[in-house]
Structure 1
Amino acid sequence: MEFYFPETFAEQLAFCSAAFTALAGLVIMFAPGYAMQLFGLQPRGDRRDGFAEQRSVGGFYLGFGLAAIMLAQDFIYMALGAAFAMAAFARVVSLLSDKGSTILNYLLLVVQAALAALPLAYSLGFFAA
């Protein structure tokens, strides 16, 4: 089995979105304390449940990103883009209703929107010649 790297620029962009997702998942899963500190989150008291939640989310990102890379199918890229689009929408809801208007939230909104746009644009054919 060979490693497949996309030939077209459009699929390379979608591939990069999946690779970034997998890399972020790897960091979040194996360094949850660092990830929580980066996002301004702190565990409370003796409760360490936040680490388990972070590792779980990191594992999901890692698995989803790797599945998109290994399978390299339009519908997998569409699912990845749709998931990030919904995450970006949820962040907008949080910005509007939770008084979460911070620089970090706006930056993460831009990142999530880009991670949604790249695979969606490829899978929906916006880059077709």
Structure 2
Amino acid sequence: MEFYFPSEFGEQMAFVAAAVSAIIGLFIMFAPGVTFRLFGLQLMTDRRDGLVLLRSSLGGFYLGFGASALLLAQPMVYLAFGASFALAVFGAILSILSDGGATVRNCLLLVVHFVLAALPLMYVFGLF
């Protein structure tokens, strides 16, 4: 089986967004303590439920969706990938505006999600 790397520039950008998502997912899965510190959160010493939630929901989503987009490399998969991150952008904007969460960390995460949403969506809709 041969590794597929796209030849069109737009698809390469969507591919890179999926690869970045998968790398972030790997980091979250295998370094949840560091991820908690990066988000400014702390674990309670007697309860470790947060690690399960972080690894399965967040790490699994980033890694699973990114790897699926890399392996399948189809426009509809890129559409679903971009739409999911676009909804994450909407949630971040909603939280920043309604919860008063306009911190540097949240704004940086908003930008990362925006880029991860924009690259595949621009490819799918022919803007590249």
TM-score bracket relative to the smaller structure: over 0.9
- Aligned residue pairs total 127
- Pairwise mapping of residues 18-57 of structure 1 onto structure 2 (< 5 A)? 18-56=18-56, 57=58
Identity %: 59
Partner SS for 2:47 = coil
Give the Cα separation in 2 of the matches to 1:104 and 1:31.
18
Q: Aligned-pair RMSD on alpha carbons?
A: 0.8
Write out per-residue CA displacement over residues 62-90 of structure 1, whole angstroms, 9 at most, x where no aligned residue. Answer: 11100000000000001110000000100
- Pairwise mapping of residues 1-129 of structure 1 onto structure 2 (< 5 A)? 1-56=1-56, 57-127=58-128
- What is the TM-score when the length of structure 1 is the normalising length? 0.95
| CA apart distance, 1:45 | 4.0
Of 22-31 and 54-63, deviating more is 54-63
Write out per-residue CA displacement over residues 22-77 of structure 1, whole angstroms, 9 at most, x where no aligned residue. Answer: 00000001111111111111123411111001111202211110000000000000
- What is the TM-score when the length of structure 2 is the normalising length? 0.96
Which protein has greater RCO, CA pairs closer than 8 Å, 6+ apart? Answer: 2
Query: Which residues of structure 2 form unaligned runs of 5+?
Result: none
* Displacement over 3 Å in runs of 4+: none
